[in-house]
Structure 1
Amino acid sequence: METTALKLYSFDYRNVKTYLAASLFVIGNIALPQLCHLLQQGGMVWLPIYFFTLIAAYKYGWKVGLLTAVLSPLVNFLLFAMPSAEVLPAILIKSVLLAVAAGFAAGYFKRISIPILIVVVLFYQIIGTLGEWLLTGSFYLAVQDFRMGIPGMLLQIIGGYLFVKHLIRN
């Protein structure tokens, strides 16, 4: 399996680049879900709200990732009432877990690979599913991403790898 070393950043909250980068990724996390929601159950299948959070945290550090993770669902909710208020807390939990895991993995390994991204995605999904189960009290609802969202997880892993490796070179 190919591993790619890449230039990673870790912007500080006092750096304006942190907010500029996070803003661009939030815009991506607004546009992609809107496209996916054109398909029936597109959000539940493709899990688009997480895609740019993964990229933000992996390439630019957990701080950019965390801003993206929190602002993306909140802005989407305020603008489009999606995600719904009922699932917003679970999505926020998973988004934050993803940002922390991706930022940690990037900082620890200092490279990107498919196996690393598999572990990152499984980590946030498994721990997030447990959190969602505690929030909702429904195991069936909590495992929805595993019942329907496998294409979205694969998009995060493969698309995230390709995006970071090929499109964000510097």
Structure 2
Amino acid sequence: MATNSVSLYSLEYKSARTYWVAALFIVGNIALPQLCHLVRLGGPTMLPIYFFTLVAAYKYGWKVGLLTAVASPLVNSALFAMPAPVALPAILIKSLLLVAAAAYTARRFRTVTLPMLLGVVLFYQVAGSAAEWALTGSLAAALQDFRIGIPGMLLQIFGGYLFIKYLK
């Protein structure tokens, strides 16, 4: 008999485990973008800065997700100038929307499915693109993820599903 069970956690800020888990996801969100940036347009196409944020928030709750979402782009920008400081507000907004959607969905449904992750990714991308448009005044910049970032969104949905489902 097949089961759709998955282990989901809600870690607290007072727990050292929260910071260790978040640190691992932050390292992932530093390493994956570096790998993607080895390929021309790898960052904008694969959207790697969001991958481990999605997994962190869905699997370990909003607190680990929040630590990952805020630290990852700031550390990447400070160490590698990617993302560029001018792009940080939009990336941080999208990251926070991703945390909210992923943590809410995980808590509400207590399982993971591909359609749920599709909904999470579409929510943060649509709402985040609207916020980016408001910030920049550029619809073209706001829609860049939808123009060239579809592979990254698919990576988040399918790769995120595998990580969330099978990460112990």
Please report the TM-score for the alignment, with normalisation by the length of structure 2.
0.97
Q: 1:18 to 1:148 in 2, by over 3 A?
A: same
Question: CA–CA distance in 1 between the matches of 2:24 and 2:142?
Answer: 30
1:108 and 2:108 aligned: yes
Unaligned runs of 5+ in 2: none
Q: 1:109 to 1:48 in 2, by over 3 A?
A: same
Q: After superposition, where does 1:39-58 map in structure 2 within 5 Å?
A: 39-58=39-58
Q: 1:69 to 1:134 in 2, by over 3 A?
A: same
Count of residues in Structure 1 that have an aligned counterpart in Structure 2: 167
1:124-169, CA deviations, whole angstroms, 9 ceiling, x for partnerless residues? 0000000000010000110000000000000000000011112x1x
Amino acid at match of 2:32: L
Unaligned runs of 5+ in 1: none
Q: After superposition, where does 1:65-80 map in structure 2 within 5 Å?
A: 65-80=65-80
Aligned to 2:153: 153
**Percentage of pairs with the same residue:** 63
- The worse-fitting range, judged by mean Cα deviation, of 136-145 and 3-12 is 3-12
- Do the aligned partners of 2:10 and 2:60 also contact (CA within 8 Å) in 1? yes
1:16-66, CA deviations, whole angstroms, 9 ceiling, x for partnerless residues? 111111000000000000000000000000000000000000110011001
Aligned to 2:92: 92
Aligned to 1:164: 164
Aligned to 2:21: 21
Aligned to 2:6: 6
Aligned to 2:35: 35
Runs of 4 or more off by more than 2 Å in structure 1?
none
Structure 1 residue 3: deviation in Å?
A: 7.4
Structure 1 residue 85: deviation in Å?
A: 1.1
Q: CA RMSD in A?
A: 1.1
1:72-91, CA deviations, whole angstroms, 9 ceiling, x for partnerless residues? 00000110011001111100
